A = this chain, B = another copy of it.
């Protein structure tokens, strides 16, 4: 066996996990989200920049403010999921670098003084953290329904308003309900993806 990860964990996180489009009413607690964060926060980002910021949408008002900016096909499931998380990149992450990257505290000014460089870096590293977060949701025994169909500019304005955050994904979270899953679509084969030089 080439993998040492326990087969049950392989199933939980990857093989048997599916994107969910419908959920039961069972609540997702703050304790669960905290446990997810406290697991996946250790996964790597460049310079440990950790640009991911999360808004948990719990109140009916918050839900309404979000749903209006989702694309049509994502509205019903976002309105009814027990918890929805807005995952965004903080384009001013560099302010935290002296704390987050003590090995080279000058990184803040040496590499990230330009906004366009920061934004590109925050988008990439925030996306890495979004993926870790999805894996973490599954580690909690929950299903994730990540979505990228929304009006990003409108969500940035509605939920952040400071011009410094860029939404990356919106993720419904809960226990899968009836007919939660589409059939598994095909994946590319190893030889279609990997070449060797």
Using a CB–CB cutoff of 8 Å, the interface residues on chain A facing chain B are 1-6, 8-10, 12-15, 17, 19, 29-44, 46, 48, 50, 52-59, 61-62, 65, 96, 99-103, 121, 123-124, 127-132, 134-135, 138-141, 144, 146, 148, 159, 168, 182, 184-188, 190, 193-197
Tell me how many chains of this kind the complex includes.
2
B193 touches A53 (CB 8 A): yes
With A2-B140, A13-B5 as known contacts, state yes or no: A197 contacts B57, CB within 8 Å: yes
Smallest CB-CB A-B distances: 6 pairs? A131-B131, A2-B35, A127-B127, A62-B197, A5-B139, A9-B9
Kindly list chain B residues whose C-beta atoms are within 8 Å of the C-beta of A34: 2, 190, 194
Among B8, B36, B124, B134, which residue has its beta carbon within 8 angstroms of that of A168? B124
A42 touches B17 (CB 8 A): yes
With A52-B193, A128-B131, A185-B101 as known contacts, state yes or no: A5 contacts B12, CB within 8 Å: yes
B19 touches A197 (CB 8 A): no
Kindly list chain B residues whose C-beta atoms are within 8 Å of the C-beta of A139: 3-5, 9-10
